[in-house]
């Protein structure tokens, strides 16, 4: 039964009959999906120390308790309204924002919401086997926290579909549970969300780079003229921050451990022989997940992106930091493949909005990599991790039919085929990672050999806290 007790919300669910009816139909299917496609092996007998959002104020969204995963209270929250909010960019700049969906933009808005919504359950599906290989209870709990919040993000998008898009919206909400990550017949919409995440290095890279794409997209949607979309995504951003924290600190802890292992062995030993993850492998996974996540920002030149901007549907990240919000005259210069070499070309900025967002994204990733590199400095080591050039390993956009090495130098097809395993994870790398993750670590306070403990626990609990309990 649908109740405010079970579904914490600030959207007036108890008096909204239409939404209640729609959710009564959808919610049981969601729970079935969660059991079938959510964390495998942790549905029935485990209690997880997770955070549940019970309201949007800072104290309310950091409410911690032990729950059984299928009994998590997935809620519906909008960030507080901004008084007299006005459209911040595009052709309707300065007009009041919309509380309902304008008919002429209905299809475009639905498409934006469905594309965002599709990524949320997709990542839960991708990560569903990881619990069986976890490096510690602390990490296991973080995985499940990310998973339940991605589930809640799905609820957030489904709320919009049910509330503002009538019959079509309800159909789309069903489809969001019907597509499956990696499924040949009914895959998820975006490629990076069909890639398997089979080991914890993938998982930490995914939460570092792909959840950060989520942040890009949510920042640009939170500028939207459709106020409910803006408020929904603004609240989602608060949760997204924890996902990126999990990814960034996960890699930091692996790098830290690798440095220790190297140091203990007098820098002469192969880290793999010590059971750690060697730096070249870490670099390959950066190359992979960064390039896959760059693709998520779409084509460099895009009339869709121009239309979304012009119509006020999707803005730039932190739109208020720009001076010109009409962007009718401004040009944007980018690198394009020309006759046998790369050329610089200026195009109208509106058509380059995907690239503008990608710039923001690359900068945010770069700052994270710099934080990782501080670890080497602390250990007085000269090694460094880096982002590959943005032309490297692209599957979407102007560079997708060409090949480049991580420094951006062009390569022939043959050379790419011959050398790609130097830059991207090879089957042997994956096999090695699975071999060191084969035994999960479920003992409180214990950590797998390839990763350091975190600096502190969750919600001021000690590191040896029993973050996931098993029923006797």
Q: Which stretch binds Fe ion (CB under 5 A): 80-88, 195-203, 235-243, 439-447?
A: 235-243
Binding mask 164-193 for Fe ion (x = CB under 5 A): ------------------------------
Contact predicate 348/304, CB 8 Å: no
Q: Is 216 or 311 the residue whose CB approaches Fe ion more closely? A: 216
> In the complex, what is the shortest distance from the CB of residue 286 to Fe ion, in angstroms, rounded to a whole number?
18
Residue 402, SS3?
Answer: coil
> In the complex, what is the shortest distance from the CB of residue 93 to Fe ion, in angstroms, rounded to a whole number?
29
Q: Which stretch binds Fe ion (CB under 5 A): 28-36, 118-126, 350-358, 464-472?
A: 118-126
Q: Is 203 or 332 the residue whose CB approaches Fe ion more closely? A: 203
Binding mask 81-110 for Fe ion (x = CB under 5 A): ------------------------------
> In the complex, what is the shortest distance from the CB of residue 201 to Fe ion, in angstroms, rounded to a whole number?
18
Count other Cβ atoms within 10 Å, centred on residue 281. 22
Binding mask 237-256 for Fe ion (x = CB under 5 A): ---x--x-------------
Binding to Fe ion in span 198-217, by CB under 5 A: 211, 214
DSSP readout, 174-230?
A: HHHHH--TT-SSS--SSGGGGS---SHHHHHHIIIIIHHHHHHHHHHHTT-SBHHHH
> In the complex, what is the shortest distance from the CB of residue 324 to Fe ion, in angstroms, rounded to a whole number?
31
Q: Is 87 or 177 the residue whose CB approaches Fe ion more closely? A: 177
CA distance 405 to 415: 10
Is 439 exposed, middle or buried, given 0-12, 13-18 or 19+ CB atoms closer than 10 A?
exposed
CA distance 290 to 366: 10
Binding mask 390-429 for Fe ion (x = CB under 5 A): ----------------------------------------
Q: Which stretch binds Fe ion (CB under 5 A): 134-142, 161-169, 233-241, 430-438?
A: 233-241
DSSP readout, 110-154?
A: HHHHHHHHHHHHHHHHHTTTGGGG-S-HHHHHHHHHHHHHHHHHH
Residue 285, SS3?
Answer: helix
> In the complex, what is the shortest distance from the CB of residue 269 to Fe ion, in angstroms, rounded to a whole number?
37
Q: Which stretch binds Fe ion (CB under 5 A): 72-80, 236-244, 326-334, 432-440?
A: 236-244
Q: Is 126 or 452 the residue whose CB approaches Fe ion more closely? A: 126
Q: Is 62 or 265 the residue whose CB approaches Fe ion more closely? A: 62
3-state helix, strand, coil in the chain (%, to 5): 50, 10, 40
User: Please, what sign has the CA dihedral across residues 306, 312, 318, 324?
Assistant: positive
> Residue with structure tokens 């730096």?
279
> In the complex, what is the shortest distance from the CB of residue 99 to Fe ion, in angstroms, rounded to a whole number?
24
Name the token pair of 20. Answer: 């209640």
Q: Is 153 or 391 the residue whose CB approaches Fe ion more closely? A: 153
If binding means CB under 5 A, how many residues of this protein chain bind Fe ion?
A: 7
Binding residue (CB under 5 A) for Fe ion from 128, 152, 153, 179: 153
Q: Which stretch binds Fe ion (CB under 5 A): 50-58, 72-80, 148-156, 290-298?
A: 148-156
Residue 104, SS3?
Answer: helix
Q: Is 118 or 211 the residue whose CB approaches Fe ion more closely? A: 211
Q: Is 214 or 425 the residue whose CB approaches Fe ion more closely? A: 214
> In the complex, what is the shortest distance from the CB of residue 236 to Fe ion, in angstroms, rounded to a whole number?
6
Q: Is 87 or 244 the residue whose CB approaches Fe ion more closely? A: 244
Reference 33, options 116, 122, 138; nearest CA is 122
Q: Is 38 or 214 the residue whose CB approaches Fe ion more closely? A: 214
State how far the alpha carbon of 30 is from the alpha carbons of 11, 23, 24, 178, 393, in Å: 20, 10, 10, 10, 35
Q: What is the largest CA-CA distance in the chain?
A: 69
Q: Which stretch binds Fe ion (CB under 5 A): 10-18, 151-159, 221-229, 300-308?
A: 151-159
Reference 168, options 225, 243, 110, 255; nearest CA is 110
8-state DSSP, 269: S
CA distance 7 to 458: 24
> In the complex, what is the shortest distance from the CB of residue 243 to Fe ion, in angstroms, rounded to a whole number?
4
> In the complex, what is the shortest distance from the CB of residue 196 to Fe ion, in angstroms, rounded to a whole number?
18
Q: Which residues neighbour 103 within 8 Å (Cβ) at sequence distance 6 or greater?
A: none
> In the complex, what is the shortest distance from the CB of residue 211 to Fe ion, in angstroms, rounded to a whole number?
4
- Give, to the nearest 10 degrees, the angle between helix 137-164 and helix 166-178: 150
> In the complex, what is the shortest distance from the CB of residue 212 to Fe ion, in angstroms, rounded to a whole number?
9
Name the token pair of 369. Answer: 């990599």
Q: Is 149 or 300 the residue whose CB approaches Fe ion more closely? A: 149
> Residue with structure tokens 């999707």?
314
Q: Is 49 or 206 the residue whose CB approaches Fe ion more closely? A: 206
Provide the binding-site residues for Fe ion, judged by CB under 5 A: 120, 150, 153, 211, 214, 240, 243
């Amino acid at each position: 039964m649908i109740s405010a007790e079970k579904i914490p919300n600030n959207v007036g669910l108890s008096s909204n009959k239409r939404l209640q009816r729609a959710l009564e139909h959808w919610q049981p299917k969601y729970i079935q999906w969660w059991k079938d496609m959510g964390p495998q092996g942790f549905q029935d007998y485990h209690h997880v120390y997770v955070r549940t959002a019970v309201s949007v104020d800072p104290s309310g969204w950091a409410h911690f308790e032990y729950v059984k995963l299928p009994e998590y209270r997935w809620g519906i929250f909008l960030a507080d309204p901004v008084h007299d909010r006005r459209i911040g960019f595009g052709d309707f700049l300065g007009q009041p924002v919309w509380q309902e969906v304008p008919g002429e933009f209905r299809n475009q808005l639905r498409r934006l919401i469905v594309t965002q919504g599709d990524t949320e359950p997709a990542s839960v599906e991708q990560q569903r086997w990881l619990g069986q290989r976890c490096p510690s209870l602390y990490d296991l709990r973080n995985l499940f926290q990310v998973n339940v919040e991605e589930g809640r993000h799905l609820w957030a998008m489904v709320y919009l579909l049910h509330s503002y898009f009538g019959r079509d919206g309800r159909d789309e909400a069903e489809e969001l549970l019907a597509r499956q990550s990696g499924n040949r017949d009914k895959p998820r919409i975006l490629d990076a969300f069909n890639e398997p995440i089979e080991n914890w290095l993938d998982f930490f890279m995914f939460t570092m780079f792909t959840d950060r794409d989520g942040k890009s997209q949510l920042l640009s949607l939170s500028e939207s003229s459709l106020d409910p979309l803006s408020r929904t995504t603004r609240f989602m951003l608060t949760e997204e921050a924890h996902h990126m924290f999990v990814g960034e600190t996960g890699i930091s802890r692996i790098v830290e451990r690798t440095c220790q292992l190297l140091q203990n062995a007098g820098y002469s030993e192969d880290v793999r022989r010590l059971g750690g993850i060697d730096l070249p492998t870490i670099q390959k996974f950066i190359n992979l997940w960064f390039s896959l996540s760059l693709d998520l920002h779409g084509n460099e030149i895009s009339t869709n992106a121009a239309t979304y901007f012009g119509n006020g549907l999707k803005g730039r990240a932190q739109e208020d930091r720009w001076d010109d919000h009409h962007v009718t005259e401004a040009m944007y210069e980018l690198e394009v493949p020309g006759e046998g070499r790369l050329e610089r070309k200026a195009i109208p900025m509106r058509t380059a909005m995907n690239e503008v967002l990608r710039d923001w994204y690359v900068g945010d990733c770069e700052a994270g990599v710099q934080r990782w590199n501080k670890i080497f400095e602390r250990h007085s080591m000269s090694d460094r991790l880096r982002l590959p050039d943005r032309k490297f390993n692209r599957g979407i956009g102007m560079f997708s039919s060409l090949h480049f090495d991580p420094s951006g130098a062009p390569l022939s097809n043959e050379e790419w085929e011959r050398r790609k395993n130097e830059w991207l994870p090879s089957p042997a790398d994956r096999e090695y990672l699975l071999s060191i993750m084969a035994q999960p670590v479920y003992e409180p306070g214990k950590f797998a050999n390839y990763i350091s403990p975190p600096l502190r626990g969750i919600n001021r609990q000690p590191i040896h806290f029993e973050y996931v309990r098993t029923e006797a």
